Structure 1
Amino acid sequence: MITAMNAERIKLTSTRSPYWCVGIVALLAIGVAVLTGATVSGPLAPTPLESAWTALVGLNSFGVLVLMIMAVLAVTSEYRFGTIRTTFQAIPRRSTVLLAKAAVFGVLAFVVTLVLAVVGVVLAKAFSGSSGGIELGDSGVLRQIWGTPVIAALYVLIGLGVGAIVRHTAGAIVIVLIWNLAVESILSILPKVGEHIAPFLPFANGSRFLNGSLDDTGYHWNAYGSLIYFAVFAVVVFVAGILVTDRRDA
């Protein structure tokens, strides 16, 4: 496993796409935090939790999508350029390869988003002053700071799983983006059934963990239940990717 992780680390640092992805995430996180803080004329939201979520919307709504795309590329690029055969010859247990990718890219996503979450909250507070409504010691704000990296790591698992199942870069990226940005929104507003479907939509639960209150009655569980639900979903998608990879030819 250590050898596989070292191999994935070398691949990560020797290709350009991860650098571009991390750069875009940093630009989104810092840029939106500064803009929201500099342009606010009052509290960003009614509560410190929602104020912090608003300040970090560039990171927790869009940056995590870029990291998920990076995870998709980690798998599909190997199929595209044919290097996956060499990888599987060097490490015959294909599950080990995907687990190593999950460890390396998951840790990268966690560390990057943790740093950017702290920087984003501090910058938004600094630019908005006392009017921004962000209290650094508030439990809701702290949940944004540690929760965003957790969500980002789960997005990476989903990206790896979908990439392993689909194999094609364009198709996998379209699936994860349309699913996140369109399909769940459409399902949640369907007449009569939308309100019953919404609590079971995975990405909605991930988002709700960050921006929802702990006693929100619209769901069947509290915000931490939403995190668990989303985590289980991410693991299921990733495991499905492993099973499909084991059963198909490289």
Structure 2
Amino acid sequence: MTLLAVERIKLFTTRSPWWCALVTLVLTIGFAALIVGNSNAEVPATVASTQFGYSFGMAVIMVLAALSVTTEYRFGTIRTTFQAVPNRTAALLAKTGVVATLALVIGELSAFGSWAVGRALKPGANLALTSGADWINVAGVGVIYALAAVIAVAVGILIRHSAGAIALLMIYSLAVESLVRLIPSIGDDIYKWMPFNVADKFLTGNGASNAGRAAGDGAPMSTAVLGQGWALAYFAGFALVLLVLSLSSARRRDA
């Protein structure tokens, strides 16, 4: 508990978490207002369309998570942490837990905030959370944000440099997975197993929460072959493997 308290204090005494949280909320809720506000009878608002901006918010969350680690390496405070807590794994797990919890809270606030704005703008639209698919599409955002934060922390531990870690995370999540589909013959098959594509499958399932609207107007419809539960397990497993590799690296390398 002491380690968690220390990491919480270190995280919240810097400005970046507050700014990142604010930017995440503005982006996700702003996109919800834009998409739902422009809906009409031909292109109706749906539960999924209120979550249109979730991927943009996730990008900001990963920046926040990466900075929580790389900033310590940049200013050398990580050495003080490891001197005070020789068990590097425990110290880094505490940091990961605090950052992931913050990401979960921000994700839930942004998701339900986006949904609430949609309900306020279009009170007559079918935006009630009446099915499991609807609830997963909204409440699941926080879970994905938390796991994405774990991935970002792991990358930050491995790379240690803010610019490099952030660049890698943004390029991979926003471009690399989509570009994989351009590989002749096998690109689409590989893409079905790419982690962020699989994460989208957990949120959208078979598209039940987006009925009546184009698939692109909610969280992206996934081509992953896994069911929703297995998709979440796959993404969580990917985050866990990356974290284990980063912790192993941190124990072997000088701070």
Fold equivalence (TM over 0.5): yes
> What amino acid is the match of 2:2?
T
Aligned residue number for residue 92 of structure 1? 86
CA–CA separation in structure 1 for the residues paired with 2:174 and 2:203:
17
CA–CA separation in structure 1 for the residues paired with 2:166 and 2:222:
33
The structure in which a higher percent of residues are helix is 1
Q: 1:218 to 1:109 in 2, by over 3 A?
A: closer
CA–CA separation in structure 1 for the residues paired with 2:222 and 2:178:
19
How high is the sequence identity, in percent, across the aligned residues? 38
Following superposition, the deviation at residue 145 of structure 1 comes to 2.2
Could you say what secondary structure the match of 1:130 adopts?
coil
CA–CA separation in structure 2 for the residues paired with 1:246 and 1:42:
58
Following superposition, the deviation at residue 137 of structure 1 comes to 2.0
Q: 1:134 to 1:178 in 2, by over 3 A?
A: same
Measured against aligned partners, the alpha-carbon deviations of 1:219-247 in whole angstroms (never above 9, x if no partner) come to 43212211111110011111111111011
Residue 205 of structure 2 contacts residue 228 of structure 2 at CA under 8 Å; is this kept in 1? yes
Q: Does 1:113 align with 2:107?
A: yes
Aligned residue number for residue 245 of structure 1? 250
Aligned residue number for residue 36 of structure 1? 35
Following superposition, the deviation at residue 136 of structure 1 comes to 2.0
> What amino acid is the match of 1:229?
Y
Could you say what secondary structure the match of 1:6 adopts?
helix
CA–CA separation in structure 1 for the residues paired with 2:167 and 2:223:
29
Residue 98 of structure 1 contacts residue 242 of structure 1 at CA under 8 Å; is this kept in 2? yes
Q: Does 1:195 align with 2:188?
A: yes
> What amino acid is the match of 1:192?
S
Alignment of 1:116-135 (within 5 A): 116-131=110-125, 133-135=126-128
Measured against aligned partners, the alpha-carbon deviations of 1:100-149 in whole angstroms (never above 9, x if no partner) come to 11111111111121122112112112212334x42222322211222111
> What amino acid is the match of 1:98?
L
Aligned residue number for residue 204 of structure 1? 197
Q: 1:217 to 1:157 in 2, by over 3 A?
A: closer
Alignment of 1:4-23 (within 5 A): 4-23=3-22
Following superposition, the deviation at residue 44 of structure 1 comes to 5.4
Q: Does 1:151 align with 2:151?
A: no
Q: 1:55 to 1:240 in 2, by over 3 A?
A: same
Could you say what secondary structure the match of 1:95 adopts?
helix
Aligned residue number for residue 234 of structure 1? 239
**Which shows bigger deviation, 212-221 or 144-153?**
212-221
> What amino acid is the match of 2:182?
I
CA–CA separation in structure 2 for the residues paired with 1:40 and 1:101:
41
Aligned residue number for residue 142 of structure 1? 135
Following superposition, the deviation at residue 71 of structure 1 comes to 0.6
Could you say what secondary structure the match of 2:122 adopts?
helix
Aligned length, in residue pairs: 243
What is the aligned counterpart of 2:63 among 53, 69, 78?
69
CA–CA separation in structure 2 for the residues paired with 1:75 and 1:217:
31
Q: 1:221 to 1:173 in 2, by over 3 A?
A: same
CA-based RMSD = 2.0
Aligned residue number for residue 102 of structure 1? 96
> What amino acid is the match of 2:100?
G
Following superposition, the deviation at residue 76 of structure 1 comes to 0.3
Following superposition, the deviation at residue 218 of structure 1 comes to 4.9
> What amino acid is the match of 1:72?
A
Residue 37 of structure 1 contacts residue 126 of structure 1 at CA under 8 Å; is this kept in 2? no
Residue 44 of structure 1 contacts residue 54 of structure 1 at CA under 8 Å; is this kept in 2? no
Q: Structure 1 unaligned segments of length 5 or more: list them.
A: none
Could you say what secondary structure the match of 2:47 adopts?
helix
Q: 1:217 to 1:85 in 2, by over 3 A?
A: closer
> What amino acid is the match of 2:227?
N
Q: Does 1:173 align with 2:166?
A: yes
